[in-house]
Homo-oligomer: A and B are copies of this chain.
Amino acid sequence: MAQKPLDVLHSSLESPVLVGLKGGKEYRGTLKGYDIHMNVVLQNADELKEGNAVRRLGLVIIRGDNVVFISP
């Protein structure tokens, strides 16, 4: 059975996800929410560069149009 992208996102609520953005930045945190634009809310989020945490952002809203991928 096919898995709709937003359904997969829904299944990832409360789980750790990796969010890749245009330009190469990545964020890792616990997915707390999302909407149909793929705006997402992460908790305990770290900003990563080349896989390493370079800044702790804590709670963060990421605007969907920057998102390249979300990996649960």
User: Contact residues of A with B, CB < 8 Å?
Assistant: 2-10, 13, 18, 21-23, 25, 27, 32-35, 38-41, 45, 57-72
Tell me whether A61 and B9 are in contact in the complex, defined as CB-CB below 8 angstroms, given that A66-B22, A66-B68 are known contacts.
yes
Tell me whether A68 and B21 are in contact in the complex, defined as CB-CB below 8 angstroms, given that A38-B63, A63-B38 are known contacts.
yes
Closest to A64 in B: B63
Report copies per complex: 7
Instruction: Let me know if A4 and B62 touch, CB within 8 A.
Output: no
- Contacts beyond the supplied A2-B13, A6-B35, A8-B41: 19 A-B pairs with Cβ under 8 Å: A2-B34, A3-B41, A4-B41, A5-B33, A5-B35, A5-B61, A8-B33, A9-B61, A18-B57, A22-B23, A25-B68, A45-B71, A57-B71, A61-B70, A61-B71, A62-B68, A63-B64, A63-B67, A63-B68
